[in-house]
């Protein structure tokens, strides 16, 4: 299947297009935050290869199409994990977007998108030996020591504060796009919004959109926009 067929027919590309299309349903004056997984990579059970794995050619092309489909009525900023495939995803999105607009800025690596106080080898080893969901449940339950990984609660709270404050520090209306990994998307969904990790696995270029508007969180996930109460700890972290 070539990139055009993937963009038009593959389930992960369909969900990526839905993510873009729903942007117009959010309040025009709100700053939006997109947290999404990197584009398509290969597959391996080798821990060292997994850490360094890059995008496939189709992964680059679909990220390019994703960027070209983004709206141009808000300034776009892009952040990414330290992973090469996340950086490549940002670069491909920008290459598509700048075909129609230069209204963007690449912000570079961003700590909440990769740093949970554990080594990449530890995380991959734990998830390979059981599963990502099993690892997340152990992390939430406090199974691991502080020497192995930062506490789940601390990570989610600090990530919320850092990501939201970076977005909310200007009157310029914009979209902040954060490229990260499936495991961190699952963690933040669960820690911020109480969404079980088993629900709707984030495929390539999939994730969620949210903003805080009129004292409510507007969240797009699982094909719908939800209005949620803002957690007490979040409103007091600003």
Domains defined for the chain, CATH in brackets: 3-235 (3.40.50.1240)
What lies within 8 Å, CB to CB, of 193 at 6+ separation is 217, 219, 221, 228
Task: Determine how many CB atoms are found less than 10 A away from the CB of residue 221.
Answer: 20
Query: How many CB atoms are closer than 10 A to CB 218?
Result: 19
pTM, rounded to two decimals: 0.94
Give the phi and the psi of residue 17 in degrees, each rounded to 5: -65, -40
* CB distance 43 to 49 below 8 Å: no
- Please give the DSSP secondary-structure letter assigned to residue 100: T
pLDDT of 237 over the 60 cut: no
User: What's the whole-number mean pLDDT along residues 102-114?
Assistant: 96
- Read off the pLDDT of each residue in 74-96 and give the average, rounded to a whole number: 96
The pLDDT tens digits of the residues spanning 145-161 come to 999 999 999 999 999 99
Percent of the chain with pLDDT over 70: 94
Q: In what order do the strands lie in the sheet with 104-109?
A: 104-109, 75-80, 174-180, 32-37, 207-213, 216-221, 224-228
- Cα(103)–Cα(85) distance, rounded to whole angstroms? 23
Nearest to 81 by CA among 177, 195, 204: 177
C-alpha distance across the termini of the chain, in Å: 47
């Amino acid at each position: 299947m070539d990139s055009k067929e993937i963009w038009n027919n593959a389930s992960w590309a369909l969900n990526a297009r839905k993510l873009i299309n729903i942007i117009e349903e959010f309040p025009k004056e709100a700053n939006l935050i997109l947290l999404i997984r990197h584009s398509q990579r290969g597959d391996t059970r080798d821990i060292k290869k997994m850490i360094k794995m890059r995008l496939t050619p189709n992964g680059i092309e679909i990220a390019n199409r994703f960027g070209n489909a983004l709206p141009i009525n808000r300034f776009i900023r892009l952040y990414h994990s330290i992973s090469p495939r996340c950086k490549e995803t940002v670069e491909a999105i920008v290459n598509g977007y700048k075909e129609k607009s230069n209204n963007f800025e690449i912000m570079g690596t961003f700590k909440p998108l990769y740093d949970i106080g554990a080594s990449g080898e530890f995380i991959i080893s734990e998830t390979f030996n059981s599963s990502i969901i099993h690892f997340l449940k152990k992390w939430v339950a406090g199974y691991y020591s502080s020497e192995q990984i930062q506490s789940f609660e601390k990570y989610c709270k600090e990530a919320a504060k850092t990501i939201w404050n970076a977005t909310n520090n200007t009157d310029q209306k914009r979209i902040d796009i954060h490229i990260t990994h499936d495991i961190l998307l699952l963690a933040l969904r669960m820690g911020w919004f109480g969404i079980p990790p088993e629900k709707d696995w984030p495929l390539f270029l999939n994730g969620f959109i949210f903003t805080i508007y009129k004292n409510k969180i507007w969240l797009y996930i699982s094909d719908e926009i939800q209005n949620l109460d803002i957690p007490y700890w979040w409103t007091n972290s600003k």
